[in-house]
Amino acid sequence: MAAPAGIGYWLRRAFGADGILAAVSVALATLLWLYVNDELSAEREIVAPLKIQIPENMAVGSGPPPAGVRIRVRGPKRKVELIGPMEIQGVYRVPDGAPPGPFAVNLDAGNFSTPPEVSITRVVEDRILIELTQTSGRPLRVKPVIAGSPKDGFEIDGSPAAVPSEVTVTGPSEDLKNAEYIETEPVDVGGMSEGFSRRVALARFVKVGDRPVPVQCAETVEISVRIRERTIPRVFQGIWVRALVPAGVTARVSIKPPQVNVKAVGERRRVTQLRPEDIRLYVDLSDVAGEGSRQATLPILVVPIPGVTVSGEAGALPPVAVEATFAPAPGTESK
The sign of the CA dihedral 136, 140, 142, 143 is: negative
Enumerate the domain spans of the chain.
43-133, 135-229, 231-327
Residue pair 43/120 in contact by the 8 Å Cβ criterion: no
| Rounded average pLDDT over 306-324 | 93
Q: What is the mean pLDDT of the chain?
A: 86
Domain 135-229 in this protein, CATH class: mainly beta
Does 332 score more than 50 pLDDT? no
What CATH code would you report for 231-327? 2.170.120.30
**At 334, is the pLDDT very low, low, confident or very high (cuts 50, 70, 90)?**
very low
Per residue in 260-278, pLDDT (tens digit) is: 999 999 988 899 999 999 9
The predicted pLDDT at position 198 comes to: 95
Beta bridge partners of 139: 168
In the sheet with 301-302, reading across from the earlier edge strand, the strands are 301-302, 281-284, 231-244, 259-267, 308-312
Number of H helices, E strands in the chain: 4, 27
The residues near 71 (Cβ < 8 Å, ≥ 6 apart) are 45, 46, 47, 48, 88, 90, 112, 120, 122, 123, 124, 125
Calpha distance 187→121 (Å, rounded): 43
Does 6 score more than 90 pLDDT? no
What CATH code would you report for 43-133? 2.170.120.30
The predicted pLDDT at position 249 comes to: 84
Of the candidates 206, 138, 140, 135, which has an alpha carbon nearest to the alpha carbon of residue 172?
Answer: 135
